[in-house]
Amino acid sequence: MNINTTAVLIKSFKYREADKLYTFFAKDLGKISAVGKSVLKTKSKVGPSLEFLNTLLVSIYKKNGFGIIKEVKIVQAVPTEKKERNFNFIHYVCDFLNKTLEEDNPANDIYIFLEKFIKFFLKTNESDVFYYCVFTTQILSVLGFMININHCSNCQEKDLSNLVYVTPAFDGFLCNKCTSNGIRISPNAIKFLKVLQNGNYQIISKLSVPTECLNEVKSILISSVHSHLQINLKSQGFIN
C-alpha cells in the first residue's frame, strides 16, 4: 500500500546503520512513522529534506504495518538561520506534538492550527520565549484547555486589575475578594494572554511585550501544560 500525504516532520532518531526512523504529523492521518533507508549516507536524496517542522509531500510504502519512505518533496522548509536561532523552540514544538498526538489518529484542528502557526513562525523574528507563549496558549485552546481570562471564575468580577491567578490545580483567575492565595497577575499579562487566545497573527506579530510580562504568561502556561496534559516535556527546559 502506498501513502501519499502532506506532513510535518516532528521526530527522528537513528534506527540502524544508515537508517533513521521518522515521525510525521500528516494532514489527514495524524501521527505516522516510517523508516528512511540510507538517509545518513551522503548520496541520500530524501535525507536533507527530513528536518524538523519542514512541511513535506511524503510517499510511504507500507507493508505489514511497517512504513518505508520512498520519496520526499519539500513544500515549505525552515531556513537554516531560523533553525539555529530558534533551535530550542523547534524541539519543544516537535516534542509537544509527538507526546500529545496519537498514532494513526487524525487531528485536523491541530493540523490546521500548526499550518497557520508555522507560517507565522517563518515570517517573524522573535525569541524562543515569545514563540513559546504564542504556541502554547493556542494549542492549549485547540485541545480544549482555554484559560478563562475574562472574569473571576467565582464571582464574575470583570475588573482585570484585581484578578489573581490560581495555580496549578485551578486553571483560571479569581478576584482578590474571592481569594488571597495564588500568583498575582498583571493587567498587561492578561491582555497579552487575551491577544494570544484570539489568535490574530497580524496583531500578534506587531506586539512588543516586556520581558516581565512574557515571564508571567510563561509561568501560567508551564503550570497549565503540567496540570492538563501530564506529559513530561524535557524540551520545555529552555524556558526556565
Residues 74, 155, 183, 231: which binds Zn ion (CB under 5 A)?
155
Establish if 176 lies at the interface with Zn ion (CB under 5 A). Answer: no
- For 122, other C-beta atoms within 10 Å of its C-beta total 15
> CA 92 to CA 25: how far, in whole Å?
15
C-beta closer to Zn ion: residue 139 or 175: 175
Establish if 214 lies at the interface with Zn ion (CB under 5 A). Answer: no
Residues 44, 59, 150, 154: which binds Zn ion (CB under 5 A)?
154
- Site size toward Zn ion, by CB under 5 A: 6
Residue with grid cell 487566545, as numbered in its chain: 197
Establish if 38 lies at the interface with Zn ion (CB under 5 A). Answer: no
The nearest distance, CB 179 to Zn ion, in angstroms, is 8
Establish if 157 lies at the interface with Zn ion (CB under 5 A). Answer: yes
Do 8 and 61 touch, CB atoms closer than 8 A? no
> CA 60 to CA 1: how far, in whole Å?
8
Binding residues for Zn ion restricted to 65-104, rule: CB under 5 A: none
Residues 26, 56, 58, 152: which binds Zn ion (CB under 5 A)?
152
Taking CA atoms, 211 is separated from 18, 102, 176, in Å, by 44, 35, 25
- Give residue 94's identity as a one-letter amino acid code: C
Tell me the β-bridge partners of 23. 11, 33
Establish if 178 lies at the interface with Zn ion (CB under 5 A). Answer: yes
Establish if 185 lies at the interface with Zn ion (CB under 5 A). Answer: no
Establish if 175 lies at the interface with Zn ion (CB under 5 A). Answer: yes
Taking CA atoms, 64 is separated from 1, 110, 207, in Å, by 9, 28, 50
Q: Which three cell numbers stand for residue 223?
A: 503550570
C-beta closer to Zn ion: residue 143 or 178: 178
Return residues touching Zn ion (CB under 5 A): 152, 154-155, 157, 175, 178
